[in-house]
Structure 1
Amino acid sequence: MAMPTLQNAIDQAGSPIKLLWQPDAEPWTPEVVDREYSGWRQEQAAWHEGVALLNLSHHMYDMWIEGPDATKVLADHGTNNFEKFAIGQAKQYVPVTREGHIVTDGILAREGENKYLLSGIPAAQHWVQYHAEKGGYDVEFVTDPSSAFRPGGGDPKLFRYQIQGPLAAELVERVFGGPLPETKFFHSTAVSLDGRPIRALRHGMAGQAGYEFIGPWEHAAYVHETFLKAGEPLGLVQVGALAYATPSVESGWIPSPVPGIYTDPDLADYRTYLPMFGIEGKRPLNGSYFSEDIEDFYVSPYELGYGKVIHFGHDFVGRDALQKAKEKPLRTKVTLLLDQDDVRTVLGQGEDPGFVLSYARHRVESATGLVGMTMQSASIDPVGAVLAQTLIDADHAAPGTEVTVVWGEHPGSGTDPEADLGFPRIRATVHPAPFNQHARTLYRRNR
């Protein structure tokens, strides 16, 4: 019996929106990892003021791509520059559809001349593997789903531990007996911990410099314990699933945008290739911004800030559309700082609302009407501060612009998208994305 597909699910629901729209959907947080260790406020403070350890081992889907055509299939279906891609380097891989809509991004690491590792939520991996198989590329794939979806359970193939914060370098020196070799941002170096092979990826979050340590799962417990023990004198804090989901709001990265794959007739075969219960059919949409047309949720890589990684020096799917998109008025990525008094009133019934995390698409309005939509909102200490990564019309994107966020859950099909449903309004002020001053300046120089 054939497995049900994404196209089956869309047909049964009646439309992509009817399939995906789920009011009050629970926000995603990493599975398996504890929700909190010392409390989300202390954990957020650690990567700003001390040193934090984040466990990324369980929630990313890994796909190794190896073979003579590995570079070709990735370059043919991604916007990135593969002429300048060193072994040991990682890039934000950005595949788009023929229409120039992002499929989703992923972290692509080059492990050898003809070998790559693509990590993240599996939408980009599905896209690459489908086109490789359909196009007859000479490549092979090895996949390792996230721990929540690994068939039969079991351990990941790799551990991933991030060490972040102002004291990260000091902790790394304690663990390895000295500083690691000078490494550019998003490049990696091979290191060893008591004979155990590890790759140290120069990485950071929310503006702070740090490393992501990656290695075979058999060494995970030893490496984890070594970092915890060496970090005790520095006040090392483990970061739980709640706080882990928030630094993207500060650093300006918008996670898992809606893949632009649901409507193009030429992608019907792709939708039939995808399983009904994959990420493309299960990642819910909700919030006060509603449209019956899924294309209103599609985004351009330019809107997400990926213009700098689009390389027109090679041919790739979506190239012509992206060249045209450069001339069009597009939304701008900004950070909204929600008014703290309104946050307390609307979200906390007059009190500190505690931890807030939402991937809802909330309407952003000005006196003239709809001007944008939120993409992710989260509490960022100090108390009562909520930031929202937002796509907004360019004429409202200047820092200091005052707008209003409509906070509520549209019921979906059958109710006018423009209906006044009595949702509360939260005043907000436009700030740059990334919000963090360090992330916008110093952090990005060493590229």
Structure 2
Amino acid sequence: MTTPSLQDGIDKAGSPIDLLWQPNAEPWTPEVVAPEYTGWRQEQAAWHEGVALLNLSHHMYDLWIEGPDATRLLADHGVNNFEKFAIGQAKQYVPVTRHGHIVTDGILLRQAENKYLLSGIPAAQHWVQYHAEKGGYDVGFVTDASSAFRPGGGDPKLFRYQIQGPLAAELVQRAFGAPLPETKFFHSTPVTLDGRAFYALRHGMAGQAGFEFIGPWEHAAYVHEAFLKAGEPLGLVQVGALAYTTPSVESGWIPSPVPGIYTDPDLLEYREYLPLFGIEGKRPLNGSHFSEDIEDYYVSPYELGYGRLIHFGHDFVGRDALLKAKEGPLRTKVTLLLDADDVRTVIGQGEDPGFVLSYARHRVENTSGTVGTTMQSASIDPVGTVLAQALVDSERAATGTEVTVVWGEHPGSGTDPDADLGFPRIRATVHPAPFNEHARTLYRRNR
């Protein structure tokens, strides 16, 4: 039996929206990792106040790209600057379509002169591999899907453990017996632990210092146990799947935007190449902001705050469109601080709503009407309420602007997108993105 493609799914459903719109869709959380270890509140507090251990080994999709044309392939299909890309350095890789809409982002690590590792949500990997095959680039690929989609099950090729928080450096020194070499943000350094070789990527989350340790799976259990033992005197807290999903809301990173691939006739072959049962066909849309046109959900890298990554000194797919978009009307990424009393009333029915996580597109309004949409929302216990990453009209993006979030689930096709469905409103105040001041200021300074 032929495996159905993304285009097959669109044709059967009738439209991309009819394929993807799923009211009340369950939000994604990392596979394999326990939902909570000590409780999501304590786990959030750990990376703000102490030290936390996060297991990223199972939900990352890895694609190794190696060959004489590896750099040319990635530069032709990504906005990034490849003129200054050292071996051992990582970048947030941003591919876009010819119309300048983002496909998604990923973490790209240069491992050798002609070898890269692209990790994250697999839409970027699919894009790169398709264009390599179609364009005849001299490269080869090795793939390791996430644990939920790995054919035949089994273990991942790599372990990934993050050590995060104000006490991260102290824990690492205890584990290795000495401080790690001074390493720039988003650069890596080789390390050994009792003869086991792997590497440390200087990384952080929600404004806190930290490292991501990456190495062969055969060393996973030993390294994990060593970190637990070294962290015990410091009150190390393991972070479960619920709390793990929340730092991006503080850090200003919007995960898994809708890829701009569903409507362009020139991408028909690409949609026929993609499997229906992949991220592009199965990541649901829901919320109070509904449109029959999937293009209303496309986003520009400028809107996501990636303008600083765009390097016009080389030719790449989407370059001309991004040059035009730079001057055009764009939405601005902001953080919405939701009113705590309204959150308790609307979401918690007067009680503490507990853990809230939503990737729904909820309408953002003011007295003049709709001014934007949320992209993700989550409880942030150190803040005391729910924060939402949102894209709003640029003239409504000033800090302190008051808006409301329409909290509800539009049923989809067959109901007017602008119908008054009686959804409750939650008052909110606009803040910068990233919300966390350290993430907003020092991250980039340390790159």
Partners of 2:346 and 2:446 in 1: CA distance = 41
Q: Distance in 1 between matches of 2:187 and 2:143?
A: 23
Match of 2:349 in 1: 349
Counterparts of 2:27 and 2:444, CA distance in 1: 29
Q: Paired residue for 1:155?
A: 155
Report the alpha carbon displacement of residue 194 of structure 1 after superposing the two structures with TM: 0.6
Q: Secondary structure at the match of 1:141?
A: strand
1:331-359, CA deviations, whole angstroms, 9 ceiling, x for partnerless residues? 00000000000000001110111000000
Q: Is the 8 A contact 1:343 1:384 kept in 2?
A: no
> Which structure 1 residue ranges, 5 or more long, are not aligned?
none
AA matched with 1:282 = K
User: 1:51 touches 1:168 (CA, 8 Å); kept in 2?
Assistant: yes
User: Counterpart in 1 of 2:117?
Assistant: 117
Tell me the equivalent position of 2:220. Answer: 220
1:383 positional shift: 7.4
Query: In the aligned structure 1, how far is the partner of 2:198 from the partner of 2:175?
Result: 13
Amino acid at match of 2:36: E
2:232 match: 232
Q: 1:387 matched to which residue of 2? A: 387
Say if 1:382 and 1:210 are closer, same or farther in 2 by CA, change over 3 A: closer
- Superposition pairs for residues 159-238 of structure 1, below 5 Å? 159-238=159-238
Tell me how far apart the structure 1 counterparts of residues 188 and 387 of structure 2 sit (CA, whole Å).
31
How far apart are residue 441 of structure 1 and its match? 1.7
1:443 is aligned to 443
Output the amino acid matched with 1:256. S
**Which amino acid in 2 is paired with 1:412?**
G
Which portions of structure 1, spanning 4 or more consecutive aligned residues, are displaced by more than 6 angstroms? none
Maintained 8 Å contact 1:208/1:443:
no
Is 1:256 matched up with 2:256?
yes
More off after superposition, 432-441 vs 197-206: 432-441
Q: C-alpha separation between the residues in 2 aligned to 1:124 and 1:383?
A: 33
Distance 1:15 1:180 in 2: 52
What secondary structure does 1:64 align onto? strand
Corresponding letter in the other structure for 2:411 = P
Structure 1 CA distance, aligned partners of 2:54 and 2:291? 37
Partner residue in 2 for 1:131: 131
- Answer yes or no: is 1:417 the counterpart of 2:417: yes
Superimposed CA distance per residue, residues 400-439 of structure 1 (whole angstroms, 9 cap, x where no aligned partner): 0000000000000000000000000000000000001111
3-state SS in 1 of match to 2:220: helix
Unmatched tracts of structure 2, length 5 or more: none
Q: How do residues 254-403 of structure 1 correspond to structure 2 at under 5 angstroms?
A: 254-382=254-382, 384-403=384-403
Check whether the contact 2:45–2:382 (CA below 8 A) recurs between aligned residues: no
- C-alpha change, 1:319 and 1:383, in structure 2 (3 Å) is closer
Q: For the aligned residues, what is the CA RMSD?
A: 0.7
Q: Per-residue deviation at 1:276?
A: 1.1
SS of the equivalent of 2:209 reads strand
CA contact (8 A) 1:353 1:384 kept: no
Amino acid in the other structure paired with 1:110: R
Question: 1:156-196 CA deviation, whole Å, 9 max, x = no partner?
Answer: 00000000000000000001111111100000000100110
Question: Match of 1:61?
Answer: 61
Tell me how far apart the structure 2 counterparts of residues 114 and 21 of structure 1 sit (CA, whole Å).
40
- Aligned partners of 2:384, 2:301: CA distance in 1, in Å? 31
* Aligned twin of 2:96: 96
CA distance, structure 2, for counterparts of residue 154 and residue 3 of structure 1: 22
**Whole-angstrom distance in 1 between the partners of 2:199 and 2:7:** 40
Q: How far did residue 445 of structure 1 move?
A: 1.5
Which secondary structure state, in structure 2, belongs to the residue aligned with residue 206 of structure 1? coil
Report the TM-score when normalising by structure 2.
Answer: 0.99
Equivalent in the alignment of 1:143: 143
Q: How many angstroms does 1:443 deviate by?
A: 3.2
Inter-partner Cα distance in structure 1 for 2:101 and 2:439 = 26
Please tell me whether the aligned partners of residues 352 and 384 of structure 1 are also in contact (alpha carbons under 8 angstroms).
no
**1:219-257 CA distance string (max 9 Å, x none):** 000000000001000000000000000000000000000
